[in-house]
Amino acid sequence: MDLVPGSIVRHPDQPDWGLGQVQSAIGERVTVNFEHAGKLLIDARKVELEVVDAEEN
């Protein structure tokens, strides 16, 4: 999965977190700033974030 800073994503198991914007992606460590959960470090080996198309926003 190619996550780049600025990508809008959703956590598949935490829909209540809302949409998140990727802040950084270094290896499997992805920092995402979610609407309702704040800034979190996600391990991309364990969680496959869903990229949201601009039209879905």
pLDDT in tens, 25-49: 999 999 999 999 999 999 999 999 9
Give percent above pLDDT 90 in the chain.
88
d(CA 53, CA 8): 8
* In-domain check, residue 40: yes
DSSP per residue over 18-54, as a string?
Answer: --EEEEEEETTEEEEEETTTEEEEEETTT--PEEPPG
Residue 48 in any domain: the answer is: yes
Whether 8 and 51 have beta carbons less than 8 Å apart is answered as yes
Cα gap 37→42, rounded to integer Å: 12
If one counts the domains in the chain, the total is: 1
Whether residue 10 is predicted with pLDDT greater than 80 in this model: the reply is yes
Residue 2 lies in a domain: no
| Range(s) of the domain holding residue 33 | 8-56
